[in-house]
């Protein structure tokens, strides 16, 4: 391995040192190219383009990752005493440098650590900055400052530290001012007075009666269980390009077009009307009652709605919401599990209220589940502390900005 690395370093060094122009370019890249990464992050933090909240969430992870990377680099440089290529191979480095330890390459490690967390929120930006860090590493090999394995090892460390930083950043985001790195929710809607209950014997249950929340009738067309209408004059294409607009991703019925406005439709009615038991005839017996495939989803929705009404009445009802994703990558993965649906990039309008929740808490069963366990997970769901896949409930209209799939 050592002889292979030596051949690689010599080949790149001889190519770079073969002309004055190549030597100057390689020397400049080895010294200064990594500075493009923090400069790009600084610009991305303040750039008033759509998706700024997602970029800032990634940058918070980047700051945590670079702190972890700095501590890791200092510890390894103090322990691993590996000579630099220009010392071992007796070359004149293209950049003046002391004969310090070679592994890890602190420049490549820190630049990569800044880039990796963005892969979870802004994949293209993160990949571009990671490529910049890799090119800087190649330049440092050509300048005889680092071995190829120094660069590869630094990139691998950055990937591990970046993944750890993404997990830690979820807690750090709670300390930021509202709207800095999370979508700014609209003020809570005015409460709607519930209709008076019909006269009858009082229920002994502490939970309120389960009934569909009211939805105001509007002149819309029902398409695939949602209401669709043309845009209002204020909902123009220019409105879709406002700085800081919250871009979300929604898997909905096919055939919708850009600028159409979508509002919740008959989802809650389908939940209440879903058959729970089937009674197929069996040989030698009249019939046997069996649960249908709709039972798990119905039980989950009932548990979520009862806990919401009883303990979190200020949260938006899932019955009056559309279900979206804030990550395009996650939305595409979810969309692949659906049939006869299209994937849209959408924009909340008209004072729509947003609520971020953990998709896995509200949409999955677990082994040995009980109603008590479902209720506890529903409480965690409505507290709004997502740890896994984040779904965004939108109480209000969405405008279709783009048709993706």
The domain tally of the chain equals 2
Q: What are phi and psi of 277, to 5 degrees?
A: -130, 145
Q: What is the largest CA-CA distance in the chain?
A: 96
- The pLDDT of residue 268: 54
Using alpha carbons, select from 139, 311, 226 the residue that is nearest to residue 303. Answer: 311
Asked if residue 386 and residue 298 are part of one domain, the reply reads yes
Asked if residue 18 and residue 162 are part of one domain, the reply reads yes
Cβ contact 377:308 at 8 Å: no
CA separation, residue 224 to residues 119, 332, 348 (Å): 34, 19, 20
Cβ contact 379:340 at 8 Å: no
- The pLDDT of residue 210: 46
Asked if residue 375 and residue 234 are part of one domain, the reply reads yes
State the burial class of residue 157 (Cβ atoms within 10 Å of its Cβ: 0-12, 13-18, 19+): buried
- The pLDDT of residue 131: 92
Instruction: Report the alpha-carbon angle 209-215-218, nearest 5.
Output: 165
Asked if residue 231 and residue 155 are part of one domain, the reply reads no
Q: Is residue 208 part of a domain?
A: no
Alpha carbons 187 and 185: distance in angstroms, whole number: 6
Q: Is residue 181 part of a domain?
A: no
Asked if residue 157 and residue 270 are part of one domain, the reply reads no
Average pLDDT, the chain: 75
* Buried-state track 288-312, b at ≥16 Cβ within 10 A, e below 16: eeeeeeeeeebbbbbbbbbbbbeeb
Asked if residue 154 and residue 11 are part of one domain, the reply reads yes
Q: What are phi and psi of 223, to 5 degrees?
A: -135, 115
Of 109, 140, 175, at which residue does a domain stop? 175
Asked if residue 267 and residue 133 are part of one domain, the reply reads no
Asked if residue 161 and residue 55 are part of one domain, the reply reads yes
Q: Which domain holds residue 310?
A: 221-275+289-403
Asked if residue 250 and residue 110 are part of one domain, the reply reads no
Residues of the chain with pLDDT under 50: 178-179, 183-218, 235-239, 242-243
Q: Is residue 193 part of a domain?
A: no
- The pLDDT of residue 135: 92
Q: Is residue 70 part of a domain?
A: yes
- The pLDDT of residue 334: 81
Q: Is residue 86 part of a domain?
A: yes
Q: Is residue 231 part of a domain?
A: yes
Q: Is residue 282 part of a domain?
A: no
Asked if residue 225 and residue 103 are part of one domain, the reply reads no
- The pLDDT of residue 398: 80
Asked if residue 168 and residue 45 are part of one domain, the reply reads yes
| DSSP-assigned states of every residue in 28-88 | HHHHHGGGHHHHHHHHHHH--STTHHHHHHHHHHHHHHHHHHHHHHHHHHHH-----HHHH
pTM of model > 0.75: no
Asked if residue 331 and residue 259 are part of one domain, the reply reads yes
- The pLDDT of residue 60: 82
Q: Is residue 190 part of a domain?
A: no
């Amino acid at each position: 391995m050592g002889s292979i690395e030596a051949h690689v370093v010599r080949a790149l060094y001889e190519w770079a040192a073969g002309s004055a122009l190549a030597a100057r370019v390689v020397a400049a890249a080895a010294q200064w190219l990594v500075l493009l990464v923090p400069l790009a992050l600084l610009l991305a933090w303040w750039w008033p383009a759509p998706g700024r909240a997602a970029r800032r969430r990634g940058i918070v992870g980047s700051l945590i990752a670079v702190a972890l990377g700095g501590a890791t680099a200092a510890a390894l440089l103090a322990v691993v005493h590996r000579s630099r290529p220009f010392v071992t191979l007796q070359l004149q480095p293209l950049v003046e440098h002391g004969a310090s330890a070679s592994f890890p390459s602190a420049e490549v490690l820190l630049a990569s650590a800044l880039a990796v967390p963005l892969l979870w929120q802004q994949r293209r930006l993160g990949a571009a900055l990671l490529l910049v860090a890799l090119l800087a590493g190649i330049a440092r090999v050509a300048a005889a400052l680092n071995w190829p394995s120094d660069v590869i090892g630094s990139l691998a460390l950055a990937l591990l530290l970046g993944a750890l930083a993404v997990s830690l950043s979820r807690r750090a985001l709670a300390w930021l001012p509202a709207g800095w790195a999370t979508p700014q929710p609209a003020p809570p809607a005015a409460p709607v007075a519930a209709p008076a209950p019909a006269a009858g014997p009082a229920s002994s249950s502490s939970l309120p009666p389960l009934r569909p929340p009211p939805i105001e009738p509007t002149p819309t067309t029902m398409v695939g269980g949602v209401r669709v209408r043309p845009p209002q004059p204020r909902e123009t294409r220019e409105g879709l390009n406002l700085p800081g607009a919250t871009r979300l991703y929604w898997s909905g019925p096919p055939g919708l077009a850009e600028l159409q406005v979508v509002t919740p439709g008959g989802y809650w009615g389908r939940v209440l009307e879903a058959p729970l038991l089937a009674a197929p005839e069996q040989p030698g017996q009249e019939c046997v009652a069996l649960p249908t495939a709709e039972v798990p989803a119905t039980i989950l929705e009932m548990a979520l709605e009862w806990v919401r009404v009883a303990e979190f009445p200020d949260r938006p009802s899932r019955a009056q919401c559309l279900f979206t994703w804030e990550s395009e990558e996650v939305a595409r993965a979810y969309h692949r599990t659906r049939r006869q649906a299209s994937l849209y990039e959408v924009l909340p309008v008209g004072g729509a209220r947003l609520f971020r929740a953990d998709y896995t808490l509200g949409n999955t069963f677990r082994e040995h589940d009980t109603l008590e366990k479902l209720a506890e997970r529903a409480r965690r769901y409505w507290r709004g502390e997502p740890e896994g896949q984040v779904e965004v409930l939108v109480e209000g209209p969405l405008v279709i900005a783009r048709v993706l799939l």
